[in-house]
Chains A and B, each alone.
Chain A
Amino acid sequence: MHSFGYRANALLTFAVTIVALMCAIASLSDNLNTPSPTAEIQVVNINWFQKQTHGNDEVSLTLNITADLQSLFTWNTKQLFIFIAAEYKTPKNALNQVSLWDAIIPAKESAKFSIHTSNKYRFIDQGHNLRGKEFNLTLHWHVMPKTGKMFADKIVMSGYRLPEEYR
């Protein structure tokens, strides 16, 4: 009855149960953290703004990004994925979200930063609706845990208007 195989099986089952329980508790403990991140994004310059040959508007921006995301880190946080998206409405689309810039923050120490950059990904509209268009710049973050549930949230910075003419 109490053979080697039987004991090994019981031990393995117990070990797996304990590890699963610890993972669940680690993931649940993320809920105890109430983060208070702050961020500010400024459009410093419109580098250029034109209509592509096949009719879509494209714009190049220079951004100034200042953020303090240190409070998002807990002991179960592996990394933070952050990105800045331009969000706007057009007659055709109820929502457009175009990612302009992103970064991976591997540690709490580097979660407080200020950066001056032009957009990393191309800001292209589906169509030619960008002249004089008002859009929101949104800082999104996705918390990747060491184990368990992933979290995401955002800060919306509203009220940017693109110029009326191409340049």
Chain B
Amino acid sequence: MGWIGIGESVRSLNIKQSLFQLITLGMIVSSALMLWKGLICLSGSESPVVVVLSGSMEPGFKKGDILFLHMSNEPIRAGEIVVFKVQGKQIPIVHRVIEVHERQEMGEVDLLTKGDSNPSDDRMLYARGQFWLKRQHIMGRAVGFLPYLGWATIIMTEQPIIKYILLGVLGLLIITSKDERHKFSAAKT
């Protein structure tokens, strides 16, 4: 009779433990999501942080640097570094505005961009027959800068195996560390 009771309590403890682990895992994921969405709200840009993927803005921005974007209703002026997406192309481009033609009526604006280390302007990069960037192509303007940190994401997208290994190890660490703590507290009581 006695050992059945012990078995039941162990089983309920197991369920409690795994539920607890699930909740902590959920907490981690949801707080990361909250941070990201909060950044989106604060910056007003759909992608508030971008990684520089090419050397076209060197020596200012190198591959692997991180840029913080901000999107506001303030008009865009020459010299600002903007992130834009050209129709038909997946990857957004980070370049500097070198020409602005703003209409008398509000809102309408023609922009021309150029990479600091490129020899010529970006008309070659735009869609066929497109001479100017419009407001709707702009995803945000760069306001802040952190060096090197973007290398982590570049490595992970170029070598997906590393991403899976990292995720696996992290998941394992979370589960095992919680396990230890629970054993400890269970032994104490």
Contact = CB atoms under 8 A, between A and B. Distances in A.
Interface stretch (A34-42, A57-65, A145-153, A158-166): A145-153
Given A85-B78, A149-B143, A6 B104 contact: no
Contact of A94 (B96, B103, B145, B147): B103
Contact of A126 (B60, B110, B144, B181): B110
Contacts of A27: 144
Contact of B104 (A79, A93, A99): A93
A140 interface: yes
Given A5-B173, A5-B177, A121 B121 contact: yes
Contact of A145 (B145, B180, B184): B145
Interface in B123-154: 142-147
Contact of B78 (A3, A140, A149, A150): A140
Contacts of B147: 146-147
Contacts, number: 85
- The winner among A91, A99, A104 for most chain B CB atoms within 10 A is A99
Interface residues of B, number: 29
A95 B146 contact: no
A78 interface: yes
A142 B59 contact: no
Contacts of A3: 177, 180
B60 A104 contact: yes
Contacts of A121: 98-99, 121
Interface in A69-108: 78-79, 81, 83, 85, 91-99, 102, 104, 106
B28 to A, nearest CB: 13
Given A92-B104, A121-B98, A97 B78 contact: yes
Interface of A: 1, 3, 5-6, 23, 27, 78-79, 81, 83, 85, 91-99, 102, 104, 106, 121, 126, 140, 142, 144-150, 152
Given A97-B78, A140-B78, 17 more contacts: A1-B180, A1-B181, A1-B184, A3-B177, A5-B173, A78-B59, A81-B96, A91-B104, A96-B102, A99-B99, A106-B59, A126-B101, A142-B79, A144-B145, A149-B145, A150-B81, A150-B144
Interface of B: 59-60, 77-81, 96, 98-104, 110, 116, 121, 142-147, 173, 177, 180-181, 184
